[in-house]
A and B are shown apart, each in its own frame.
Chain A
Amino acid sequence: MTRPTTAHGAPAEDGGAVTAADPATDTPVAATGGRAWWRGAVGRTALVLLLAVLAVALAYWRSGSGVVVSQAVVTGILIGGVYGLVAMGLTLIFGVLDIVNFAHGAFLAVALYVTVEMTGRFGVHPYLALLVAVPVMFLLGAAVQRGILSFSIGQPLENQLLITLGLALLIDNLLLLVFGPNPRSVALPGDSGVEILGAVATVSRLLAFGVALVLAALLYLLLQRTRLGTAIRAVAANDTGAQLVGIDTRRIYMLTFAIGTACAGAAGVLVSPLVTIEPTTGELFNIIAFVVVVLGGMGNVVGALVGGLLIGLTEQLGALYLPGQSPLLAVFVVFVLVLFLRPQGLFGSKA
């Protein structure tokens, strides 16, 4: 994200705000290539806008109805926000700890059940469950990292991968054992349809989308403006180097995993009114979340949000172009294209 390379499909509007994944290389490039960078950014923005117009025009041509297209765009953006929300914690863990965390969906399912219990047993507003779910998931994440995953640091990557996979199965089946297989649901009081540009959306989706934006902003500030964030980025860039300048990398690993898991907790509470809650619900998000993480650039929370929006829109518009196909088909076409043109992800820095 530091050079104005050839044109590609990256949404470049906020490119300037998210360059700093690697602070060491940021300053020199910004100083030497300022004008060229801006030209590249304008060019890319124009390209993205052109692609967006083409995509919508094609959708209109295929469906022949403006209402359907605007509904697809609104739904795509709102679903994309949810995907971004789920992927944010994952991208942090992926980028910093280099762990392919297959238990992310299962952690999300735990938060779903925390919400079910809070609303069902104590009758509180679903969003109040954030106050419980986020700290609980933070502690759970810290315990899992310190108690299980920290022992596999320095060993082959497959070890961690299989540990998280096993953890996911364990959590899924524990939920099945404790809560039984019957589907549960959480209702958001006052959840109704709202009209936007001729399309409709529910309040719960709008709120989930709004909180996804807030959470992305908070994580971004945490990473860019605090000592902890600087340490996390340093460990992500070079853990030996970070250790040499006196950063306790063990602590950073634990905190990062805990923050990532807490994000899954927040996501779980926010999506609870949108899904049918079963022990396997978390699995639904796993594959999409990985696609979003890789698409957006590992470790980049803004990238996760933009990647989520891109995937959400692709899914909805793709269903109009290719009726009768799995939405994942269009998603993976875009995924492969982006990786082909920009292997490090939309907002990833070159390693």
Chain B
Amino acid sequence: MRKRWTPALAVALPVVLAACGGSAPPGATGSDEGGGTGDTIVIGSLHPLSGAAAADGQQMDNGAQLAVDAINEAGGIESLGGAQLELASADTQGAPEVGQSEAQRLIQEGAVALVGTYQSAVSQNVAATAERNQVPFVIDVSSADEILQQGYTYTFRLQPSAEVLGQRGAEYLAQVSEAAGAPAQTVAVLHEQGPFGTAITESFRAQAEQLGMTVGEVITYDAANVSDFTTQITTVQESGADVLMVAGYYRDGVLVANAVQTVGPELDAVYGVANGAFDTPQFPGEVGAAGEGVFDANYRLDITNPETQELAELYEQTHGDQMRTAAVLSHEAVRVVADALERAGDTDPAALRDAIAETQLESLMAQSGPIAFTETGENENATPILMQVLDGNVRQVYPEEYAETPPVYPAPPGL
């Protein structure tokens, strides 16, 4: 009797590992009827509505829905006789294979374009599916550089790539620390070991070294399993670095901030690059004093823009929650598709693709110009800005044109 668990466990471990990803039957959500003909035009929205990234995924789906509602209220697509938009939402569960099959389903049900998906691995699969079916795909969030290095012609990306994020992150650090008279010299890096953390770290390191900083200790970790960072932070403390750069997700970001407070290393700054925790509205509340002074260089909704403020208010009224940046990107992705439909005057995917490629659209994000796509499909004006947690709030601090308040540097932990 005691031996029976061995085969059972052998069966069960792969099952449970798989269950972390895909489990619910596909097609639980979505549109009833095919679109693209008649008076409604269907746009497919692919986001992780359940699973570990559900908080962002649901925000993004809400953001896309708000864009659809706003466009419909304003009279729909005028060049198509006031055709109404309809959002067909699908749950990728954060799993690449589910994302792929859901993308295929939405296309078969008549979606003229897809927006999504948050996880780079999922976006990669959806991009391949979109290309095969020749349906435009506008990526709201997904940083991996490779997605747009496959020569795809139907895929476009709104958020800045990992390369841009890392480069600008290093530049802002150099500029802010120099302006404060305490130039950053030795930077220790703590990054999650997946493609996201690695790509950000590589471009950050290259740019930082070019700007005369030394990148010393580089520590990687597994974001899925890590439960404590005190050992890693002690290693950073012993290495004598004056800045700690962190690239990771929400849960691990919280653990890092707590460990920094516990260990208390002598740092000038804890500096996130595209960090999934440090610039979220939830972060200061969760970690309290440990979050004070923490920087993050990341793409960001531009809260100094009155239109963005309006959207944030609407979001809070509709969903009773603070809007995250990811929701704005999904909102923009739908607007890009709607704007292209308007200019193309046609729901034919090929015509739509050409129209998207010529987009010139004002953005609600902090970026250096309107949304416009390069040859490869990157948003050429996308850029990160620098944020800092000050008095329990995430504030835009640099570059000056987006700054709500000047940065505080040095910002040693436990400020």
Contacts and interface: CB of A to CB of B under 8 A. Distances in A.
A279 B51 CA distance: 8
Given A280-B51, A323-B219, A327-B226, A181 B58 contact: yes
B1 A320 contact: no
Interface string A179-220: 011110101000001000001111001000000000000000
B222 A328 contact: yes
B52 A161 contact: no
A181 B49 CA distance: 9
Interface in B199-256: 219-222, 224-228, 230-232, 234-235, 237-238, 250-251, 254-255
Residue among B58, B225, B254 facing the most chain A CB atoms (10 A cut-off)? B225
Contacts of A283: 20
Nearest to B57: A181
A165 B7 CA distance: 16
A72 B11 contact: no
B13 A287 contact: yes
B254 A158 contact: no
B4 to A, nearest CB: 6
Q: How large is the interface on B (under 10, 10 to 19, 20 to 34, 35 or more residues)?
A: 35 or more
Interface stretch (A8-16, A24-32, A60-68): A60-68
Given A181-B54, A183-B55, A326 B3 contact: no
A276 B250 contact: yes
A158 B24 CA distance: 19
Nearest to B253: A276
A286 B16 contact: yes
Contacts of B255: 276
Contact of B1 (A78, A98, A180, A278): A98
Contacts of A290: 9, 13
A267 B412 CA distance: 34
Nearest to A202: B262
Contact of A157 (B4, B55, B219, B234): B4
A199 B234 contact: yes
A122 B3 CA distance: 47
B23 A169 contact: yes
Interface in A52-106: 63, 65, 67-68, 71-72, 74-75, 78-79, 82, 94, 98, 100, 102
Contact of A72 (B5, B8, B231, B250): B231
Contacts of A168: 19
Nearest to B59: A181
Contacts of B193: 324, 326
Given A158-B11, A193-B264, A326-B193, A176 B54 contact: yes
Given A193-B262, A200-B263, A298-B5, A327 B235 contact: no
B50 interface: yes
Contact of A276 (B5, B50, B235, B286): B286
A205 B228 CA distance: 10
B8 A158 contact: yes
Contacts of A279: 54
B254 A79 contact: no
A98 B222 contact: no
A124 interface: no
Contact of A161 (B12, B20, B235, B288): B12
A313 to B, nearest CB: 11
A50 interface: no
A67 B237 CA distance: 10
A273 to B, nearest CB: 10
Interface string B248-273: 00110011001001111000000000
Interface in B1-53: 1-5, 7-9, 11-13, 15-17, 19-20, 23-24, 50-52
B235 A65 contact: yes
A275 B220 CA distance: 20
Contacts of B235: 63, 65, 68
A98 B51 contact: no
Interface in B164-180: none
A183 B252 CA distance: 12
Contact of A169 (B5, B17, B19): B19
B282 interface: yes
B5 A71 contact: no
Contacts of B24: 169, 173
Contacts of A284: 224-225, 227
A321 to B, nearest CB: 12
A82 to B, nearest CB: 8
B190 to A, nearest CB: 11
A71 B9 contact: no
B391 interface: no
A294 B230 contact: no
Interface string B273-314: 000000000100111100000000000000000000000000
A281 B324 CA distance: 21
A351 B2 contact: yes
A319 interface: yes
Contacts of B354: none
A303 B13 CA distance: 21
B404 interface: no
Contacts of B231: 68, 71-72, 75, 316, 319-320
A143 interface: no
B358 interface: no
Nearest to B252: A276
A183 B250 contact: yes
A334 interface: no
Given A158-B11, A161-B12, A173 B50 contact: yes
A327 B238 CA distance: 21
5 contacts: A173-B50, A276-B254, A276-B286, A278-B54, A326-B193
6 shortest interchain CB distances as A-B pairs: A181-B54, A351-B2, A181-B55, A326-B222, A71-B234, A185-B286
Interface of B: 1-5, 7-9, 11-13, 15-17, 19-20, 23-24, 50-52, 54-55, 57-58, 193, 219-222, 224-228, 230-232, 234-235, 237-238, 250-251, 254-255, 258, 261-264, 282, 285-288, 321
